[in-house]
Amino acid sequence: MKKKLFALSLVAICVAIVAAGTLAYFTGETTAHNVITTGGVKVELIEKTDGGKPFPEEGVTGVMPGQSVGKEVTVKNVGPSEAWVRLSLQVEFLDAEGSIMDVSDMPFILEGVNPEKWEGQGMYIYYKEPLAEGESTEPFMESVKFTEEMGNEFQNTTMNMDIQVQAVQTANNGETVFEAQGWPET
């Protein structure tokens, strides 16, 4: 009998404790799914020939002394952030056998160069204004004019003009393009 009573009392106390343990407040909650994103810099080199057509990938053939070949070069900011822009320009002539020629006096000039917007310093030509997202630069050049004095040594030669564009953020990165840091390493 006493064991039964003891067990009954324990059960009653336990039930009471469990009842106390399950007593709940009203609570409500919500979750905020917060998102952090970084931007970046993305630019595109745009080369057009006469009439606004894309410059042909295979190049232009049959060029004669005194001839001008349309090559309008601009840079478009296709990323979400404003950017500083610079170009590098490398030119080489290959002879009929495909060997690099040693040319001391280049037989051409770049036409339509805009020195107010573009300025050469060291190995690069810098666009002096920040380029906002979606905007394009003023053309760096509009055409390549081969000189009348281009000698016979350039017969059956190939001229390669390699233009590369680089860009860095303007945010927290200098007041002018010349102060900007963090250009891609070449």
Footprint of another protein on this chain (CB under 8 A)? 1-2, 5-6, 8-13, 15-16, 19-20, 22-41, 80-81, 169, 171-173, 182, 184
Closest to another protein by CB, 2 or 53: 2
Closest to another protein by CB, 13 or 123: 13
CB of 12 to another protein, least distance (A): 3
CB of 186 to another protein, least distance (A): 14
Among the listed residues 44, 64, 72, the one whose alpha carbon sits nearest the alpha carbon of residue 151: 64
Closest to another protein by CB, 24 or 64: 24
CB of 176 to another protein, least distance (A): 17
Closest to another protein by CB, 81 or 147: 81
Closest to another protein by CB, 81 or 157: 81
Structure-token match 């009573």, residue found: 5
Distance CA(17)–CA(100), nearest Å, equals 93
Burial class from Cβ neighbours inside 10 Å (0-12, 13-18, 19+) for residue 36 reads exposed
CB of 135 to another protein, least distance (A): 16
| 27 φ, ψ (degrees, to nearest 5) | -130, 150
Q: Distance of CA 77 to CAs 22, 38, 50, 110, 169, Å?
A: 61, 17, 23, 24, 11
CB of 108 closer than 8 Å to CB of 145: yes
Give the chain's largest Cα–Cα span. Answer: 127
CB of 31 to another protein, least distance (A): 5
